[in-house]
Amino acid sequence: MAIHRASLLAVLCCICLCGTVIAARELNGDLSMVAKHENWMAQYDRVYKDATEKACRFEVFKANVEFIEMFNAQNHKFWLGVNQFADITNDEFKTTNTNKRFKANSIRVLSSGFSSFFRVQQRWTGEPREPSLLSRIKASVYNTITAQLFLGCCWASSAVAATEGIVKLKTGKLISLSEQELVDCDVHGEDQGCEGGLMDDAFKFIIKNGGLTMESNYPYIAADGKCKAGSNSAATITGFEDVPANNEGALMKAVANQPMSVAVDGGDMTFQFYSAIGYGKTSDGTSYWLMKNSRGTTWGEDGYLRIEKDIADKKGMCGLAMEPSYPTK
């Protein structure tokens, strides 16, 4: 009987000890996550209105970090990073960072209702051969990365970047044009400011408006504003063209000549925390597109995105080959 009681006590002590160890590990894990959250808040200047909001956002941050770490531990072709979107849910990300007004036509159907717009940055006739090409691309016909600041203005950023690119190629001058003028003034059709829009309609507005003014004259404010009529035009375009749909080969030829605007389905959770994919062709022969985003330099690779190309799906990865277009001058 004494032996039985001793065994029972030993078992209970063991259970108690194990429970204590597990609780201690969980506590240490939470303390480590709290430290990560505090460091992240400092890095991105994030301030919450009260302790309740901070606690709520911490739980979201914790879940996102755990998702990122689990994803990165698997064998994927790209990895994820803890960026400026780490304390918002994927639903919030899709609501505030994707183009709600984009609807593919009956020929070009997106599998998701959320799309984001990017500027294709690579300009080549073959495959990139060296990493330094990225630096040369950044310094050629593109201005610095902009940040939408949680708004659906990606269509305007894309149209402006493509316009700046063709102006640079035709005139030799790289100027920064106003995205805010598009956001505020191009509101009488499909384009509706920070609620979303389409690049082709933006090109139509630029032509009809006689161009866009300088960014310095009409700066971006990360919100819908009242149109300032009569702004002096700094540059314009004469037309625009759509690249044949679902044809990465045609897109490749077009990109070799100038920047493109393309639509990408960017609502997936992995897209929220995208960090880097690689460059050119990997050792297994995988090829990539290089794109410029408008979520700031802390997203992706200094604000750029490398996305797999020449895949089996003719629509391209994330639908990038479905509706590409470019301005002409």
Q: What is the pLDDT of residues 248-266, one digit of tens each?
A: 888 888 887 888 888 777 6
Local structure of residue 220 (DSSP, 8 states): -
Domain-embedded: residue 300? yes
Domain membership of residue 82 (yes or no) is no
How many percent of the chain have pLDDT more than 70?
68
**Which has the minimum average pLDDT: 1-15, 74-88, 236-250?**
1-15
How confident is the model over 188-207, as pLDDT tens digits?
877 677 777 888 999 999 99
Domain that holds residue 179: 90-328
From the number of C-beta atoms within 10 Å of its C-beta (0-12, 13-18, 19+), residue 19 rates as exposed
Q: Rounded to an integer, what distance in angstroms lies between the CA atom of residue 119 and that of residue 165?
A: 10
Residue linked to tokens 């006739």: 125
Instruction: Specify the 3-state DSSP secondary structure of 260.
Output: strand
Asked which of 52, 75, 98 is the last residue of a domain, the reply is 75
| pLDDT on residue 286 | 77
**Per-residue tokens: 68:** 């990122």
Q: For Cα atoms 130, 131, 133, give the angle at the middle one, nearest 5 degrees.
A: 80
Sign of the CA dihedral with 51 first, then 54, 55, and 56 last: positive
134 inside domain: yes
DSSP secondary structure, 119-139, as one string: EE----SS----THHHHHHHT
- Contact (Cβ atoms closer than 8 angstroms) between residue 273 and residue 61: no
Domain boundary among 20, 47, 75: 75
Residue-averaged pLDDT of the chain: 75
pLDDT at 181: 95
Quote the pLDDT of residue 74.
93
Beta partners for 118? 262
Q: Which of 22, 51, 75 is the last residue of a domain?
A: 75
Do 162 and 221 fall within a single domain?
A: yes
The total of structural domains in the chain comes to 2
7 and 153: one domain? no
Determine contact, residues 269/245, Cβ cutoff 8 Å. no
293 falls within a domain? yes
Look at residue 81 and tell me if it is in a domain.
no
Chain-centre distance for alpha carbon 297: 10
pLDDT band at 147 (very low <50, low <70, confident <90, very high): low
Please tell me the predicted confidence (pLDDT) of residue 9.
Answer: 42
Based on the fold, state whether residues 178 and 133 are members of the same structural domain.
Answer: yes
* 235 domain residue, yes or no: yes
Residue 105 pLDDT: 42
User: 145 and 202: one domain?
Assistant: yes
Residues 130 and 156 in one domain: yes
Q: Is the pLDDT of residue 66 over 70?
A: yes
- Identify whether residues 192 and 308 lie together within a single domain: yes
Q: What is the CATH classification number for the domain harbouring 129?
A: 3.90.70.10
Kindly state whether residue 226 falls inside one of the protein's structural domains. Answer: yes
How confident is the model over 3-18, as a mean pLDDT?
Answer: 44
54 and 117 housed in the same domain: no
pLDDT at residue number 48? 96
Q: What is the DSSP letter of 74?
A: S
User: Same domain for 241 and 318?
Assistant: yes
Is 295 domain-assigned?
Answer: yes
| pLDDT confidence of residue 252 | 82
Which whole-number Å values give the CA distances from 214 to 49, 193, 233, in the listed order? 36, 18, 7
Same domain, residue pair 42 and 95: no
The reply to whether 110 and 38 lie within a common domain is: no
pLDDT higher for 281 or 20? Answer: 281
Q: Which residue has the tokens 């509101």?
A: 187
* 56 and 109 co-located in one domain: no
pLDDT of residue 138: 52
Question: Rounded to 5 degrees, what are φ and ψ at 185?
Answer: -105, -25
pLDDT digits (tens, 9 = 90+) for 69-124: 999 999 887 788 898 889 999 888 877 665 544 444 422 222 222 233 443 333 33
As to burial, measured by CB atoms within 10 angstroms (0-12 exposed, 13-18 middle, 19+ buried), residue 50 is exposed
Quick one: 135 and 186 in the same domain?
A: yes
Q: What percent of the chain has pLDDT over 90?
A: 33
